[in-house]
Structure 1
């Protein structure tokens, strides 16, 4: 069924509660304290049921002492009904409520002028004219005015007509797809337990759903649901809802807590925001000022850290961070009211850009660029700014959260301009191509400077400006395309062959070294015997890179050994002949079988273990594979 949510706003004692009662037949002053004082201090809820749908009416308290409740009531409202007394006209709290509604993005759709029956016709006409002039000055000149009198139903019927039209005119939108319900009331019902109420801003809720209470990060279960006095199995976004919770006491919940699902939110002590100061704010707001922030049903004190420092002037906007003394819960795109602490005046509004930010210095240009991109709402700009901040890459989930889009939608919008590089991260395709070209150029320069080296140390070729994941993606993508080769912490151009640039003397010397290794069998000469120069060391590396030789390490002696590849193959064949599976053998037995020493047999067997030629079981080994 179609529904709409309307908040009823206006100055104290202008007749909001009476008007809601006449429209709905429901009493919203339900607290004994409200009955006694004759004014609303808490939110009141009622609804009008029409054939075309239901309009929820939220009666916001008009007294300035209870402005927090008014802000809480405006959460989720799609329109405002302004109530003005024909006797008193536009008053202080009328203006305050209008400012708050505008800052929260809630449009005033109609104005009800009450108490029209307590004046004579002349005074009433003059009063209506004054109200009309006042509304014109507030930019509300086109909003319809409906006079309401206690002795006539004409005004009430006109309001009903307007509310019915509203059902067709207000778009059915939601803040996000995940369930998100700010708690505005909590109480206990005998026989049921803990009940919270609020307007469901996104997603659906269903009986038996598991959901999380923030900022406590407390898992709870929905025991029952009720909307507009009727039990429901499921409620959808935009509906006023009472939620019966299992597994938590009412005393553990307060107004400002949030029921949420789908990973939309988490407790946070730092938020990025775009602040707009009212033109009539008492004074500029300085960097590091303490302010009171109201959003959803939350109110909290925060320190305002302006990006760039300084101050923001009346009527101007600025990017800032809000640092809270305790964790709070919000979502990207959520609107806030900003008030001074003393005196308690509304000085402006803000929009959350990133609800899970981390503290940065006020002069952080990269973070400022992210805020600017987020404010503009362009997904491509947001992704580029996040990657610039994150050493070339960024989390897709992060970009989706602050862009207020699904991950699939973000990827679709980014198109071929970005690539997924793994572990949920994205990077610009051009940045990837630039990094690939940079690595290839570095390797080309390395090979030119060291013509006998098949590989360069991987760490020296790494671009430290890139995130580790992006650097790894660049290397892996070039390896897949066979532009480079990666081997044991080293990297080189796949097309580069040191043998192709060797001089005849170098080739002859490499043959000599290879012959020495081959003749050494399983007791090859040490490197100190073979290597007589830096060039000899490079030639040994060429043999290893070309797989003509195998490098091993005797860990106990901390000594590098080099075997000829044919000698290693011969050793494996000899062991298999002497110890055919499933015959087990010790290190000493293998040493005797190969007629070598412990210096060589230990690293050789460890090499066989790693290559799956042998299988080790404690001090014993067995040749891998089936028996001959």
Structure 2
């Protein structure tokens, strides 16, 4: 590449706004030396129809991308698209005209899209005297007083004479320095505002990078279609670079796609990072239209503008709210006729269906909610946390609503936060003992739940198994997936497996040959007994003539006393072990060896307990119970302090 842009340092983007014929395009050309009107029709008619682009170099050498938007009321849609991703607004108001209808509409769009800073260019000052220009500047300041731009600089300028241009550049530089850079994010999101073909290169798209980095060779996904392609080359301000970062006005040459497959209004995203949706929950501000106090009725059809796309949708107010008046806010669900790749925190604008005017907008809270406007207290807590930007509270609210054990990824989807942020907040809940991790056998699929939820779901599994056995007394057990469909139909396979493992550990279920049974139900009970018996048998066989006593034996087998004694009874009936007393059990072969040693010692006559202990090679702790057991079974008998064989 001939030049390399520092992808870690984003540009800021300047966007024009204002009424038609208030000198936006002429001012951009005077400031930048680039005519943003690129269409023949625009030049012929003298108005901007589509978005125009240029580069502005400020006095300190800082470069800004410039987006010039249409001012005519017929092209407000393009204006909204052009305002997507801009950092500083250049609001143009002609000194001889003042604030006009499209000035108001454009100002509303800037506020609704939360454009951080604004500079006002009081254009065409060469057509009025100084007194009138000062009066008009005061009028503008008065109008901005109730907006986020109350402190915006108002700079009188003339593109014809050049008056005020240096002051305007300085004001733009000041606003740029006061504008916060975009938050770093690894996820690429770019709303496409142009798509065209260059001979010999192929399809090129342009847009302002909302987040992430666009680098040569990266695979990207075109939303909402889901088509995947690769970036062949990257340009910033017409110069080739290796990569462009969030905030850059960017042109990308895409591999093996046509302009039919990627259009203005589409999004370019990191593959798999965005799932388009046709319904999303929002924090809505309703402005109404000037001179009209008509409320916004729930269910109203509107034009929904998001990124560089506009489509038809309906606004459904939450909790049965019938309508809202101009100036009011409400939580609503917007349902669109086309899928949109929205994410938490995205700004949008709504325009009335007919006649078309900007009437409101707001911010996306949940990109993938249930299709309902009836919300419970948990939903309200989550929406309020998202509205206030309290990420910890949002994770807590989403976790509290989870029906099953959840992963950080699932909480991320429910809240719109990144998976890393969701994982961090879940870890904090674990640290505070308000959550617990459960293993799935897959380190990358860690799940989170509560003790109460785990007990509740384990009990549900137990009850389902009892019901199954009652209805199918001859069945060995139920298939694992059939049980999941019965108890946890909406749960992931990992979540169900983790709960089932918990139910098995607590003796509420048993698994064998892919079937799940209840421990106390026929075949299931036998399977469990056999599994437990084998555990105990293996331990006793390995221990030989020095087995652990009951408490240690049960601990090694990870069995409760009740389960263990039941299994030991099975082994005893099968002749696989010898029960000496309730606290000591031997493998049958090991015990036979002890009997042989005792018999050989007593073959020449009676022997003391110490002599028999040494003959068996046991400690007194093991030897005395063995000798007492041999007495009790009639193999030996005591004669004073000695023992002899029973003949």
Is TM more than 0.5 here? yes
Once the 2 structures are TM-superposed, how far is the Cα of residue 366 of structure 1 from its aligned partner? 5.2
Matched, 1:394 2:406: yes
The structural deviation recorded for 1:395 is 4.2
CA contact (8 A) 1:178 1:262 kept: no
Q: For the structure 1 residues 16 and 404, does the alpha-carbon distance in structure 2 shift closer, same or farther, using more than 3 Å as the test?
A: same
Distance, in Å, in 2 between the alignment partners of 1:226 and 1:336 is 28
- Could you report, residue by residue, the CA deviation over 1:216-250 in whole angstroms, capped at 9, with x for unpaired residues? 11011111111101111211111001111111111
Alpha-carbon distance between aligned partners in 2 of 1:336 and 1:264, rounded to the nearest angstrom: 20
Contact 2:233 2:253 in 1 (8 A): yes
Q: Which residue of 1 aligns with 2:128?
A: 119
User: Matched residues in 2 for 1:293 and 1:250: separation?
Assistant: 24
Aligned to 2:28: 20
Cα deviation, 1:253-274, whole Å, max 9, x if unaligned, reads 2211011005321232222222
Distance in 1, Cα, partners of 2:36 & 2:490 = 59
SS at match of 1:184: strand
> Which residue matches 1:132?
141
Q: CA deviation at 1:81?
A: 1.3
Query: 1:142-153 residue pairs with structure 2 within 5 A?
Result: 142-150=151-159, 152-153=161-162
Aligned to 1:309: 320
CA 1:431–1:353 in 2, change beyond 3 Å: closer, same or farther?
farther
Shift of 1:173: 1.4
| Alignment partner, residue 358 of structure 2 | 346
Q: 1:134 to 1:165 in 2, by over 3 A?
A: closer
Alignment of 1:160-559 (within 5 A): 160-174=169-183, 176-278=185-287, 282-314=293-325, 315-360=327-372, 362=374, 367-401=379-413, 403-414=415-426, 415=428, 416=430, 417-421=434-438, 422=440, 424=445, 426-429=447-450, 431-432=452-453, 435=456, 472-474=497-499, 476-477=501-502, 486=510, 488=512, 489-490=516-517, 546=567, 549=570
Bigger CA drift: 462-471 or 87-96? Answer: 462-471
Mapped to 2, the partners of 1:186 and 1:123 lie a distance apart of: 44
**3-state SS of paired residue (1:251):** coil
Partner of 1:78: 87
In structure 1, what is the equivalent of residue 108 of structure 2?
A: 99
Q: 2:19 aligns with which of 1, 4, 11?
A: 11
Deviation at residue 399 of structure 1 after TM alignment: 2.4
Residue 579 of structure 1 corresponds to which residue in structure 2?
A: none
In structure 2, the CA distance between the partners of 1:110 and 1:484, relative to structure 1 (3 Å rule), is same
Question: Are residues 135 and 352 of structure 1, via their aligned partners in 2, closer, same or farther at CA, if it must alter by over 3 Å?
Answer: closer
Task: Identify if the C-alpha distance between structure 1 residues 363 and 136 changes in structure 2 by more than 3 Å, giving closer, same or farther.
Answer: closer
Shift of 1:428: 4.2
Distance 1:364 1:255 in 2: 38
Contact 2:351 2:360 in 1 (8 A): yes
Q: In 1, distance between residues paired with 2:350 and 2:172?
A: 31
Q: Deviations over 1:277-318 (max 9, x none)?
A: 126674222222211100100101112232223323122222
Q: Residues 304 and 425 from structure 1, CA distance in 2 versus in 1: closer, same or farther, beyond 3 angstroms? A: farther
Relative to the length of structure 1, the TM-score reads 0.71
Deviates more, 1:319-328 or 1:87-96: 319-328
Size of the alignment, in residue pairs? 497
Residues in 2 aligned to 1:147 and 1:413: alpha-carbon distance in whole angstroms: 50
**Structure 2: where are the runs of 5+ without partners?**
1-5, 464-476, 526-561, 577-647
How has the CA–CA distance of structure 1 residues 179 and 470 changed in structure 2, closer, same or farther, with 3 Å as cutoff? closer
- 1:49 to partner: Cα distance: 2.5
Tell me how far apart the structure 2 counterparts of residues 479 and 150 of structure 1 sit (CA, whole Å): 80
**Alignment gaps of 5+ in structure 1:** 443-455, 499-540, 551-562, 568-628
Among 157, 166, 187, the alignment partner of 2:166 is: 157
Q: Which deviates further from its counterpart, 240-249 or 418-427?
A: 418-427
* Alpha-carbon distance in structure 2 between the residues aligned to 1:484 and 1:399: 29
Query: C-alpha root-mean-square deviation of aligned residues, in Å?
Result: 3.8
Q: Is the CA contact (8 Å cut-off) linking 2:119 and 2:172 kept in structure 1?
A: no
Q: Distance in 2 between matches of 1:104 and 1:217?
A: 26
Q: Secondary structure at the match of 2:260?
A: helix
Distance apart, 1:119 and its partner CA:
1.6
The offset of 1:486, in angstroms, is 4.0
TM-score where L is the length of structure 2:
0.69
Question: Hey, what's the Cα distance between the residues in 2 that align with 1:473 and 1:545?
Answer: 27
**Structure 2 Cα separation of the partners of residues 476 and 275 of structure 1:** 45
Alpha carbons 2:187, 2:270 under 8 Å: kept: yes
Work out the CA distance in 2 between the residues paired with 1:304 and 1:243. 35
